[in-house]
Structure 1
Amino acid sequence: MVDTSGIQDRFDRSSRGLTMNSSSSRIIDKKNKASVQTAVLDICRREVGHLSTRKFSHRRAASEDLVLRLDLARKLQKHSGCVNTVSFNAHGDIIISGSDDRRVVLWDWENGCIKLSFNSGHNNNIFQATIMPETDDRSIVTCAADGQVRHATILEYGEVETKLLGRHQGRAHKLANEPPSPHVFYTCGEDGLVQHFDLRTGEATELFTCQPVRGRTFTPVVHLNAIAIDPLNPNLFVVAGSDEFSRLYDIRRYRYDASAAFGKPVDHFCPEHLLGDENVGITGVAFSDQSELLVSYSEEFIYLFSNNMGWGSDINSVLDDHHLTVNSDSEMETDSKPGPQVFNGHRNCLTVKGVSFVGANEYVASGSDCGRMFIWKKKDSKLVRVVEADKQVVNCIQPHPHTLMLASCGIDWDVKIWTPTGLEKALPPTNINRLRPSTNHLMVSPRDMALELLALRSQRMSPERRPNEEGDMMEFIVTFDGDSSDSEDEAPATGYFHWPVQDL
């Protein structure tokens, strides 16, 4: 066996010599030298076997020095509409994107070239596109504003076969594949429905329709915007949408009891001060590799929950107790629950934004209405980066599966690639409260207007489902916002009215 102790000593002496400069330069460059020295030592220790490859990879991905050096590497330009979704394949060498133009594009992001572009078969804006793992990157699932859930199979010579798997009555914003299965995934939609798909059968299983808490009579269902599966326990998944709760479900309860009672969550997550707040909603959720739950609220902040911060399955009792406490004249001593971490500074009002963990799950990232990308340190919620990433709104930020590299997209018609190649480290964020002039508009979708009308009408209706009437209304909603372009390469209308705030 080779004795590496002498080599390590030389590396240590060499690293100590890096700091032997004049006192003035040492003060100026102290942090830069420390970060460079640490990186050099980590490489040396890995090469001589004193640092495992796994630990080395984690240290590099979690390095704040690299986060501060993230810079725009390239723009991937092909779409002719807003890019609503971007994600990586399992190896990290291919990016998939979907857009308002209804096309799916696979990119070799490192070289900036297109590997494949095809018509998804959707009739409206694509909201999510995912490459299923362990399929040689040939199996792709998508969901969209037309409510359809589709499967695309890449055949020989680049031919693509697409087919309809299922449908939601309203927009289907998100899907989540069960790790590491190449066959199983879930979807959620604004109809409140959660569906389970298995590509081996090609059939959809309607699991449940998400019901509002007691007393919320203004809407018959919770319009769902987000879904995520716990990577440590794929039996658990969370959904969230038009109220204050992230609801956790266990799929094993469905398998053991295929009754309608499966729709009851096993846990609810919500910051205590938002309990009973009917003016907030949730646009994005994500699980860390330690089962921590990240939740992004519209008109509010981002919160990080550990698995012991839930309110339990009986949320109506919790709300009753909370209501009594808030309205009690006497001071009541209550056992305070540990609160979630808070990440703030961004703006989430105009669009359905995602939220994600980056940098070996040591950082939190979100887009913003001001067109910038925000990155916080997870352990102390410190805002470390604010980056110009879109002319209007950033909606989606996705991390590379193995290294510190990001892809972002939003209202612009491109995908932006961010790598830690900056020669200088970024300065601390300043002026984060400014707002672009172009974002002083309310973006109101005709479909959202129709859904509001449907919610108001539901107050005068029985809570029982009326298939014909709701179906007619939903058909009107989908048709009203449909694009009339016959060309698959022509950019469809975005389907939004832009009303200046001062005119409202």
Structure 2
Amino acid sequence: MMKKRSRTDLDQAVVNVCKRELGQLSTRDFAHRLAASEDLVLRLEIHKKLEKHEGCVNTLSFNSDGDVLISGSDDLRVILWDWETGRVKLSFNSGHRNNVFQAKFMPFSDDRTIVTCAADGEIRQAQILEGGEVKTILLGKHEDSRVHKLAIEPGSPHIFYSCGEDGVVQHFDLRTRSATELFTCRSINDPRNFQPYVHLNAIAIDPRNPNLFAVGGMDEFARLYDIRKYSWDGSSDFGQPADYFCPQHLIGNGDTGITGLSFSDQSELLVSYNNEFIYLFTRDMGLGNPPFPSFSPPISMGSDTSEFEPGSIASSSSMDVDGKNFAQAYKGHRNRETVKGVSFFGPGCEYVSSGSDCGRIFIWKKRGGELIRVMEADRDVVNCTEPHPHTMALASSGIESDIKIWTPKAIERATLPTNIGQVLMRDCYWFGMSDYNDNDYFSDDEDDDGSEDSDDVDIDEDSDDADIDDDSDDDCSDDGETKG
């Protein structure tokens, strides 16, 4: 049976109020602690449904102020939303000839410069002109390859990167409107690999050091690169990563790949695997260059976690008795049917969020990996969970054509059903994933007594298996959690 949640968070909130009144806690620190409160996560519920797209919504992103949400869809349109009111501010044709996979505002462009990528392999720029007219131009292309993700250099109105299923990573500079092919991500010399390159699904830049970026695709390794090692005259071989990251037990596993990457504000790297879990890495967890199956997990840089910032990987990962530092795993969701992203959530990246094949949103505590929310979002697969840049709000989308906005406005706190393990395992079997064991997916404190519970999450057994190309206009079901 699920353990009852303690009153620690509520008690700490009262203490913080007292400290603020006594001048022992600054207004800024008080606001930060309040915004990161688990209580707000437990009160998330649907604020608005944004319904104008006519196909799967594959990408969501907020502007820097957080008042505008941008979305892209299989309908080839890009829409800018006033998400608080649900009003469409602007809708335009992307210029792409196939499903739009990503759309992002460029920083310091007054929200008038947008870059997009799509299943047609193109990378395009959309410029919003006076009067609302939109001009789109082609910046570059990955030949015969879908392009899932772009990565914008933090704070730069000009620089961004793309990665494609052709294994190519490109660098773009809007000042010259030119694309530079940096390298092709090569497969590690392994007889399992029939192709010389890795199909890339994800790319992310470290916000604390924009010289570093990571890519991930259809093998088990997340690769870290340092752009400072690239020679722009083409004289260097930049295709060799600075480091590799992979859970030790997945090295040599040909049945998994990476669908999503995200860096935290503390330079932690979050990696989402299909047919597996989500893992959190720090720089000292790198496998070296190149990695081999015989590599042992790296030793932590220090056994005294007081030397690290709160929330750093050293304090959020698990260690064995030998002091070896292992990546924190986040378990329970299903990532098999589509290319799913993964996100940090909270003002200090205190939480981890992901969509799932079962149509739910999962939220874990970053430190310790405890699953604290499972929210019914769609009848089909949820691919995107996009955190608001400043507040505890979340946007989600997937196979369905609408977007859900989640804000902490529920009167009562949600709790996980006591038999959440049974419910999720039932989905596991329904989606044809019967080779998984629930003991692999839940920590020891999420014990299941096998009893029936009236608070069980509803499962619609009449729905078809999710497919990435399906369009569904069904409304989402009610939040499948108990409140109290």
Matched, 1:345 2:332: yes
- Displacement of 1:205 in angstroms is 0.6
How is 1:19-418 mapped onto 2 (pairs within 5 angstroms)? 31=7, 38-39=12-13, 42=16, 46=20, 49-169=23-143, 170-215=145-190, 216-255=192-231, 258-315=234-291, 318-319=292-293, 337-359=324-346, 360-418=348-406
Residue identity matched to 2:218: S
From 443, 448, 457, the counterpart of 2:467: 443
Deviation digits for residues 219-241 of structure 1, max 9, x if unmatched?
12100000000001000000000
Mean Cα displacement is larger for which, 337-346 or 148-157?
A: 337-346
Would you say the 8 A contact 1:57–1:403 is kept in 2?
no
SS in 1 for 2:325: coil
SS in 1 for 2:237: helix
Distance 1:422 1:178, change over 3 A: same
Mean Cα displacement is larger for which, 372-381 or 258-267?
A: 258-267
What is the alpha-carbon distance in structure 2 between the residues aligned to residue 29 and residue 124 of structure 1? Answer: 47
Distance 1:74 1:193, change over 3 A: same
Deviation digits for residues 145-195 of structure 1, max 9, x if unmatched?
000000001000101010000001210000010001111110100000000
Which sections of structure 2, spanning at least 5 residues, go unmatched? 297-321, 428-459, 473-484
- The CA RMSD over aligned residues, in Å, is 2.3
Question: TM-score, with normalisation over the residues of structure 2?
Answer: 0.79
Distance 1:438 1:310, change over 3 A: farther
Would you say the 8 A contact 1:89–1:137 is kept in 2?
yes
Quote the sequence identity (%).
61
Distance 1:432 1:165, change over 3 A: same
- In the alignment, which residue of structure 2 is the partner of 1:465? none
What is the alpha-carbon distance in structure 1 between the residues aligned to residue 167 and residue 468 of structure 2? Answer: 21
- Displacement of 1:257 in angstroms is 7.3
- Displacement of 1:261 in angstroms is 1.3
- Displacement of 1:35 in angstroms is 5.2
Residue identity matched to 2:413: K
Would you say the 8 A contact 2:40–2:392 is kept in 1?
yes
Deviation digits for residues 27-69 of structure 1, max 9, x if unmatched?
x9983xx756654664575577543343223212221111100
Which sections of structure 1, spanning at least 5 residues, go unmatched? 1-27, 323-334, 446-492, 496-504
Deviation digits for residues 229-263 of structure 1, max 9, x if unmatched?
00010000000000000000000000477335100
- In the alignment, which residue of structure 2 is the partner of 1:498? none
Residue identity matched to 2:46: L
Residue identity matched to 1:254: Y
- Displacement of 1:441 in angstroms is 2.9
Would you say the 8 A contact 2:357–2:466 is kept in 1?
no
Would you say the 8 A contact 2:58–2:100 is kept in 1?
yes
- Displacement of 1:422 in angstroms is 0.6
- Displacement of 1:428 in angstroms is 2.1
Would you say the 8 A contact 1:369–1:439 is kept in 2?
no
**Structure showing the higher helix proportion among its residues:** 1
Question: TM-score, with normalisation over the residues of structure 1?
Answer: 0.76
